[in-house]
Amino acid sequence: MADAHKVTDPAVQALVAAINAGDRAAFFAALTPDATMSDDGRDRDLADWADHEIFSSAGHMDVVTVRNGGRSLIADYRNDRWGRMRTRWAFTITGGKISRFETGQA
């Protein structure tokens, strides 16, 4: 993770680590219970998306650039489903946890 050390928001740090470890419990622990997300501008079912895009397909995130303390990232994301792609991530933090994230191709 090239710039992962620049991610200073603890919730985002936890989410990136959980994705890279394939740790579903830690991933959801970084989120609020009612967290939402979108992929390429379309709202998705978070649990279903995470299962398909991360946990059943060996998702991995290499952070390339960090802005806003880690609440905005550009990352090389790869999984067994789609291969490698440059992605953007934006996070909304509520009470120390991620309440929404938006991702998509960069």
Q: Which band of pLDDT confidence, cut at 50, 70 and 90, is reported for residue 5?
A: low
- Coil, helix or strand at residue 50: helix
Supply the pLDDT for residue 15: 97
Contact criterion met (CB below 8 Å) for 59 and 51:
no
3 or 9, greater pLDDT: 9
Edge-to-edge strand list for the sheet holding 42-44: 42-44, 31-39, 97-105, 83-94, 72-79, 60-67
| Integer angstrom CA distances of residue 53 from 25, 46, 94 | 15, 10, 24
Whole-angstrom distance, CA of residue 86 vs CA of residue 6 = 18
Domains and CATH numbers, the chain: 4-105 (3.10.450.50)
Supply the pLDDT for residue 1: 46
Supply the pLDDT for residue 7: 86
